[in-house]
Protein backbone atom coordinates (compact mmCIF):
# COMPACT_ATOMS: atom_id res chain seq x y z
CA UNK A 1 0.00 0.00 0.00
CA UNK A 2 2.83 2.37 0.94
CA UNK A 3 4.61 1.60 -2.34
CA UNK A 4 1.46 2.39 -4.35
CA UNK A 5 1.00 5.66 -2.49
CA UNK A 6 4.60 6.72 -3.11
CA UNK A 7 4.31 5.70 -6.76
CA UNK A 8 1.14 7.73 -7.13
CA UNK A 9 2.79 10.81 -5.63
CA UNK A 10 5.79 10.47 -7.92
CA UNK A 11 3.55 10.19 -10.98
CA UNK A 12 1.61 13.30 -9.94
CA UNK A 13 4.81 15.25 -9.35
CA UNK A 14 6.15 14.19 -12.75
CA UNK A 15 2.99 15.24 -14.52
CA UNK A 16 2.97 18.56 -12.67
CA UNK A 17 6.59 19.20 -13.59
CA UNK A 18 5.92 18.45 -17.25
CA UNK A 19 2.85 20.69 -17.25
CA UNK A 20 4.72 23.56 -15.65
CA UNK A 21 7.65 23.20 -18.02
CA UNK A 22 5.41 23.05 -21.08
CA UNK A 23 3.66 26.30 -20.18
CA UNK A 24 6.43 28.46 -18.74
CA UNK A 25 7.34 31.64 -20.63
CA UNK A 26 10.80 33.07 -19.83
CA UNK A 27 10.93 36.71 -18.83
CA UNK A 28 14.02 38.92 -19.04
CA UNK A 29 14.84 42.32 -17.61
CA UNK A 30 15.84 43.93 -20.90
CA UNK A 31 15.18 42.72 -24.42
CA UNK A 32 16.31 44.27 -27.67
CA UNK A 33 14.43 42.75 -30.59
CA UNK A 34 14.07 44.26 -34.05
CA UNK A 35 10.52 43.45 -35.23
CA UNK A 36 11.31 42.51 -38.83
CA UNK A 37 9.78 39.04 -39.18
CA UNK A 38 13.14 37.37 -38.66
CA UNK A 39 14.37 35.66 -35.50
CA UNK A 40 18.01 36.61 -35.84
CA UNK A 41 18.18 38.44 -32.51
CA UNK A 42 20.18 36.24 -30.16
CA UNK A 43 17.58 36.40 -27.38
CA UNK A 44 15.26 34.16 -29.42
CA UNK A 45 17.50 31.20 -28.56
CA UNK A 46 16.26 31.61 -24.97
CA UNK A 47 12.57 31.65 -25.90
CA UNK A 48 9.95 29.04 -25.16
CA UNK A 49 9.39 27.13 -28.42
CA UNK A 50 6.21 25.24 -29.29
CA UNK A 51 6.18 23.01 -32.36
CA UNK A 52 3.65 20.32 -31.46
CA UNK A 53 0.82 21.77 -33.53
CA UNK A 54 -1.71 19.22 -34.76
CA UNK A 55 -4.65 19.03 -37.14
CA UNK A 56 -7.14 16.81 -35.27
CA UNK A 57 -9.76 16.85 -38.02
CA UNK A 58 -7.75 15.10 -40.74
CA UNK A 59 -5.29 12.27 -41.22
CA UNK A 60 -3.36 14.28 -43.81
CA UNK A 61 0.20 15.23 -42.99
CA UNK A 62 0.65 18.87 -42.02
CA UNK A 63 3.48 21.30 -42.58
CA UNK A 64 5.63 22.27 -39.61
CA UNK A 65 4.73 25.30 -37.50
CA UNK A 66 6.99 26.77 -34.81
CA UNK A 67 5.99 29.35 -32.24
CA UNK A 68 8.40 31.20 -29.94
CA UNK A 69 7.46 33.41 -27.02
CA UNK A 70 9.22 35.44 -24.32
CA UNK A 71 8.65 38.62 -22.35
CA UNK A 72 10.34 41.49 -20.60
CA UNK A 73 8.79 43.98 -18.17
CA UNK A 74 6.82 45.74 -20.92
CA UNK A 75 6.08 43.42 -23.82
CA UNK A 76 5.18 39.92 -24.85
CA UNK A 77 7.25 38.98 -27.92
CA UNK A 78 6.24 36.23 -30.33
CA UNK A 79 7.59 34.68 -33.49
CA UNK A 80 5.81 32.24 -35.82
CA UNK A 81 7.57 30.17 -38.49
CA UNK A 82 5.16 28.47 -40.89
CA UNK A 83 6.69 26.10 -43.41
CA UNK A 84 4.56 26.30 -46.52
CA UNK A 85 5.20 24.96 -50.02
CA UNK A 86 2.45 27.13 -51.52
CA UNK A 87 1.85 30.51 -49.93
CA UNK A 88 -1.60 31.90 -50.70
CA UNK A 89 -2.49 35.56 -50.19
CA UNK A 90 -5.96 36.62 -51.27
CA UNK A 91 -6.49 40.16 -52.57
CA UNK A 92 -9.65 41.86 -51.33
CA UNK A 93 -10.45 45.54 -50.66
CA UNK A 94 -11.65 44.69 -47.14
CA UNK A 95 -8.70 43.83 -44.94
CA UNK A 96 -10.51 41.29 -42.76
CA UNK A 97 -11.81 39.42 -45.81
CA UNK A 98 -8.33 39.33 -47.37
CA UNK A 99 -6.76 37.90 -44.19
CA UNK A 100 -9.53 35.35 -43.60
CA UNK A 101 -9.01 33.83 -47.06
CA UNK A 102 -5.20 33.74 -46.89
CA UNK A 103 -2.53 31.55 -45.29
CA UNK A 104 -2.23 32.92 -41.78
CA UNK A 105 -1.31 32.37 -38.17
CA UNK A 106 -3.52 33.37 -35.26
CA UNK A 107 -3.42 34.37 -31.60
CA UNK A 108 -6.60 34.17 -29.53
CA UNK A 109 -7.00 35.44 -25.96
CA UNK A 110 -9.93 34.93 -23.62
CA UNK A 111 -10.96 36.19 -20.19
CA UNK A 112 -12.65 33.02 -18.99
CA UNK A 113 -14.36 29.88 -20.23
CA UNK A 114 -17.49 31.83 -21.09
CA UNK A 115 -15.43 33.71 -23.72
CA UNK A 116 -17.33 36.87 -23.03
CA UNK A 117 -15.45 38.57 -24.52
CA UNK A 118 -12.42 37.15 -26.29
CA UNK A 119 -9.87 38.78 -28.59
CA UNK A 120 -7.84 37.77 -31.60
CA UNK A 121 -5.03 38.73 -33.93
CA UNK A 122 -4.95 36.99 -37.29
CA UNK A 123 -1.83 37.69 -39.36
CA UNK A 124 -1.36 36.48 -42.90
CA UNK A 125 1.72 35.61 -44.94
CA UNK A 126 1.65 38.97 -46.72
CA UNK A 127 1.94 41.05 -43.56
CA UNK A 128 -1.70 42.02 -43.09
CA UNK A 129 -3.11 42.03 -39.56
CA UNK A 130 -6.73 41.53 -38.58
CA UNK A 131 -7.63 42.21 -34.93
CA UNK A 132 -11.08 41.36 -33.63
CA UNK A 133 -13.20 41.23 -30.52
CA UNK A 134 -15.68 38.40 -30.11
CA UNK A 135 -18.45 37.22 -27.84
CA UNK A 136 -19.36 33.56 -27.59
CA UNK A 137 -20.58 32.18 -29.87
CA UNK A 138 -18.85 33.64 -32.97
CA UNK A 139 -20.27 37.13 -32.62
CA UNK A 140 -17.19 38.80 -34.03
CA UNK A 141 -16.50 42.52 -34.48
CA UNK A 142 -13.85 43.04 -37.18
CA UNK A 143 -14.01 46.82 -36.78
CA UNK A 144 -12.46 46.59 -33.32
CA UNK A 145 -8.87 47.84 -33.03
CA UNK A 146 -6.25 46.32 -30.74
CA UNK A 147 -5.49 49.08 -28.18
CA UNK A 148 -2.21 50.85 -28.86
CA UNK A 149 -1.04 48.41 -31.54
CA UNK A 150 1.12 50.14 -34.15
CA UNK A 151 1.94 48.97 -37.65
CA UNK A 152 5.60 48.48 -36.76
CA UNK A 153 4.70 46.17 -33.85
CA UNK A 154 4.06 43.22 -36.19
CA UNK A 155 6.10 42.24 -39.24
CA UNK A 156 6.26 39.29 -41.61
CA UNK A 157 8.80 37.83 -43.99
CA UNK A 158 8.80 35.12 -46.64
CA UNK A 159 11.47 32.51 -47.29
CA UNK A 160 11.66 29.82 -50.02
CA UNK A 161 9.63 27.25 -48.05
CA UNK A 162 7.31 29.36 -45.95
CA UNK A 163 6.80 32.59 -44.04
CA UNK A 164 7.38 34.13 -40.63
CA UNK A 165 5.46 36.57 -38.44
CA UNK A 166 7.07 38.43 -35.56
CA UNK A 167 5.50 40.86 -33.14
CA UNK A 168 5.22 42.39 -29.71
CA UNK A 169 2.18 43.11 -27.54
CA UNK A 170 2.04 45.40 -24.54
CA UNK A 171 1.67 43.55 -21.24
CA UNK A 172 -0.30 46.51 -19.90
CA UNK A 173 -2.80 46.06 -22.73
CA UNK A 174 -3.09 42.33 -22.05
CA UNK A 175 -3.78 43.14 -18.40
CA UNK A 176 -6.33 45.81 -19.34
CA UNK A 177 -8.11 43.28 -21.56
CA UNK A 178 -8.03 40.89 -18.57
CA UNK A 179 -6.47 38.06 -20.57
CA UNK A 180 -3.32 38.30 -18.44
CA UNK A 181 -4.01 37.86 -14.73
CA UNK A 182 -1.48 37.12 -11.98
CA UNK A 183 1.14 36.21 -14.61
CA UNK A 184 -1.23 33.67 -16.20
CA UNK A 185 -1.99 34.24 -19.90
CA UNK A 186 -5.00 32.63 -21.58
CA UNK A 187 -3.86 32.12 -25.16
CA UNK A 188 -4.69 30.05 -28.24
CA UNK A 189 -2.18 29.34 -31.02
CA UNK A 190 -3.54 28.50 -34.46
CA UNK A 191 -2.74 28.39 -38.15
CA UNK A 192 -4.81 28.23 -41.34
CA UNK A 193 -2.99 26.52 -44.21
CA UNK A 194 -4.77 26.90 -47.55
CA UNK A 195 -4.20 24.21 -50.13
CA UNK A 196 -5.74 26.11 -53.06
CA UNK A 197 -7.28 29.50 -53.90
CA UNK A 198 -10.00 31.11 -51.85
CA UNK A 199 -12.85 29.54 -53.83
CA UNK A 200 -13.55 25.93 -52.97
CA UNK A 201 -10.34 25.76 -50.99
CA UNK A 202 -9.19 23.07 -48.66
CA UNK A 203 -7.87 24.41 -45.37
CA UNK A 204 -5.82 22.49 -42.87
CA UNK A 205 -6.41 24.02 -39.45
CA UNK A 206 -3.47 23.71 -37.06
CA UNK A 207 -3.86 24.11 -33.32
CA UNK A 208 -1.68 24.00 -30.22
CA UNK A 209 -4.51 22.64 -28.08
CA UNK A 210 -7.00 20.09 -29.41
CA UNK A 211 -10.42 21.67 -28.77
CA UNK A 212 -12.08 18.23 -29.06
CA UNK A 213 -14.69 19.54 -31.48
CA UNK A 214 -16.25 17.54 -34.31
CA UNK A 215 -15.33 20.19 -36.87
CA UNK A 216 -12.50 22.76 -36.85
CA UNK A 217 -13.42 25.44 -34.35
CA UNK A 218 -11.10 27.80 -32.46
CA UNK A 219 -13.88 30.00 -31.06
CA UNK A 220 -14.38 27.76 -28.05
CA UNK A 221 -12.75 27.79 -24.62
CA UNK A 222 -11.32 24.28 -25.04
CA UNK A 223 -9.00 25.62 -27.77
CA UNK A 224 -7.36 28.06 -25.36
CA UNK A 225 -4.34 27.11 -23.25
CA UNK A 226 -2.57 28.74 -20.34
CA UNK A 227 0.98 30.06 -20.13
CA UNK A 228 2.74 31.24 -17.02
CA UNK A 229 5.07 34.24 -17.28
CA UNK A 230 8.12 33.38 -15.23
CA UNK A 231 11.12 35.47 -14.27
CA UNK A 232 14.81 35.11 -15.07
CA UNK A 233 17.74 37.13 -13.82
What pLDDT does residue 199 have? 53
**pLDDT of 107 over the 60 cut:** yes
Residues 163-192, mean pLDDT to the nearest whole number: 97
Whether 118 and 227 have beta carbons less than 8 Å apart is answered as no
What pLDDT, on a 0 to 100 scale, did the predictor assign at position 105?
98
The rounded percent of the chain whose pLDDT value lies above 70 is 87
* Average pLDDT estimate for 20-44: 86
Q: What is the mean pLDDT of residues 127-141?
A: 97
* CATH classification number, 2-229, choose in 1.10.15.40, 2.160.10.10, 3.40.228.10, 2.60.40.1190: 2.60.40.1190
pLDDT (mean) for 60-67? 94
pLDDT above 90 covers a percentage of the chain that reads 81
Mean pLDDT (the chain) is: 89
User: Best-predicted range by mean pLDDT among 8-12, 16-20, 70-74?
Assistant: 70-74
pLDDT value at 14 more than 90: no
pTM: 0.88
Task: Examine the pLDDT at 28 and tell me if it is beyond 60.
Answer: yes
Q: So what's the pLDDT on residue 19?
A: 41
Residue 178 has pLDDT above 50, yes or no: yes
Is residue 140 scored above 50 in pLDDT? yes
Average pLDDT over residues 111-115: 95
CB contact at 8 A, 173 and 87: no
> How many other CB atoms are found less than 10 A from the CB of residue 36?
14
What integer pLDDT is reported at residue 10 of this predicted model? 43
pLDDT for 200 beyond 90: no
Name, in order, each residue with C-beta under 8 angstroms of 89's C-beta and a sequence gap of 6 or more: 98, 102, 103, 124, 125, 126
Q: What is the pLDDT of residue 167?
A: 98
The arithmetic mean of pLDDT across residues 167-185, rounded, is: 97
pLDDT, greater one: 225 or 9? 225
At residue 202, the pLDDT reads 84
Amino acid sequence: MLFKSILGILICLTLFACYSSDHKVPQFKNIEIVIDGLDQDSIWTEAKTIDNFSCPWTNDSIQLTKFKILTDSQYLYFHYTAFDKQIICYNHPKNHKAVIDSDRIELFFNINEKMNPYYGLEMDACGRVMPFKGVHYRKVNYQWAWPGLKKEDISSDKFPNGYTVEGKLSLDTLRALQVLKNRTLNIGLFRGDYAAGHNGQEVLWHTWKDPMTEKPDFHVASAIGKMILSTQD
